[in-house]
Amino acid sequence: MLDKLWKKKTSMMVGIDIGSHSAKAVLLSQGNDRLVVEDFAIEPMPRGSVVDREIQDIEAVGIVIAKLRKKISTNATEAAAAVSGQTVITKVIYMDVALTEDELASQIEIEADSLIPFPLDEVSLDFETLDVNESDPSKVNVLLSAARTESIEARVAALDAGDFHAKVIDVESYAVGRSYDLCLSQLPDDAKDKIVAIVDIGSTVTLFSATDAGKHIYSRDQMFGGEQYTRSIVSYYNKSFEQAEEAKTTNDLPPNYTFEVLAPFHTVLMQQIRRAIQMFLTTSGQEKVDYLLISGGTAALEGLETLLTEELGIHTVIANPFNDMSFSDSVDQEELGNVAPQLMVATGLALRSFSPWHI
């Protein structure tokens, strides 16, 4: 699947995932036969700077990105970021197969007016021609993506403030889907032909997406994340939010935290994932999910892989998009391994350095 990445040499872009809890950056290059991790970095985000995936304080986010810029190779000045949430709309529409690219663009703008619940002058559109429609060969499937222009401009401004040039603004679910290809070797051999659900659990938002035989078919955001676990630690052990975050990552918690905090959060998380799966099955008409791939900061939660496998009856794996990559001498491989599940979005964005598509 990744053979398309090797077709042409392009300038490297830093993939930057702008989250409400932290900003993550990944820089990849092409080796002789595999991708190479050149660098990565994570910086905490001031609380309130990003809320529900929307930037509230461009200056504060720019300062964080500037810190990433200092940690990442100084030769890489271009960056890719992503939009997500309720201001992003993606739909597959069907267009006449005989249309030229320019004619397609004009026709899509007309079609978009009836498909998008925002005024067209407030959104930015892009599209990708997929394949000829199986039911009607006179039509071609086209992936239409639309996002509020203010969301895009906020990310461009934050990257600029951080001394990066915004080369690409992607859609977060596409970035995760791109990283999915890198995780295939972690799954059983038949996964490439099965339905795999990817659950990226952020601090406040969880992105549930699904692929069928490697083809992205579904995505949906849920307002739930690891911050709920942090708040339980704050409540039970009288810690500040910052102290709770540190205790969560260092496991500096009382012995009884497993029963007081971890087990209840496990239960809620499992319910959220079960609900997301059921919604996907109902919407898509699929019969089951064959494999689960878990990413995001909460993926490191103790016992999560075993819990989901046993309780949901679905083979579950914690994602590591760097599983089959090489590493530059400057990369701390142990540290990268510890944070790998958090870097799915940033890695998918970094892959845009090698992607010929404009979505």
Residues of the chain with CATH 3.30.420.40: 2-86+149-354
C-beta of residue 182 within 8 angstroms of C-beta of residue 321: yes
Give the Cα separation of 37 and 69 in Å (integer). Answer: 16
pLDDT, the chain, mean:
88
| pLDDT confidence of residue 258 | 87
Q: Which of 197, 210, 207 is nearest to 345 (CA)?
A: 207
Type of residue found at 175: A
pLDDT of 110-169, one tens digit each?
877 777 777 788 888 888 888 888 888 888 888 888 888 999 999 999 999 999 999 999
Question: Which pair of tokens denotes residue 69?
Answer: 């810029």
| pLDDT above 70 for 3 | no
Question: Which pair of tokens denotes residue 226?
Answer: 């690891």
| pLDDT confidence of residue 1 | 36
pTM: 0.88
pLDDT of 201-247, one tens digit each?
988 889 999 999 888 888 888 888 888 999 999 988 888 888 888 88
Give the Cα separation of 299 and 200 in Å (integer). Answer: 8
| pLDDT above 80 for 85 | no
Q: Which CATH number fits the domain 88-148, given the four candidates 3.40.190.10, 3.30.1490.300, 3.50.50.60, 3.30.413.10?
A: 3.30.1490.300
| pLDDT confidence of residue 28 | 95
pLDDT of 312-342, one tens digit each?
999 999 999 999 999 999 999 999 999 999 9
Give Cα 235 to chain centroid, integer Å.
30
Dihedral sign from CA coordinates of 126, 359, 43, 210: positive
Type of residue found at 116: I
Which range of 39-48, 210-219, 248-257 scores highest in mean pLDDT? It is 39-48
Instruction: State the residue for tokens 């990433």.
Output: 68
Give Cα 129 to chain centroid, integer Å.
22
Does domain 2-86+149-354 fall into CATH 3.30.420.40? yes
Type of residue found at 62: G
Strand partners, 292: 197, 316
Residues of the chain with CATH 3.30.1490.300: 88-148
| pLDDT above 50 for 9 | no
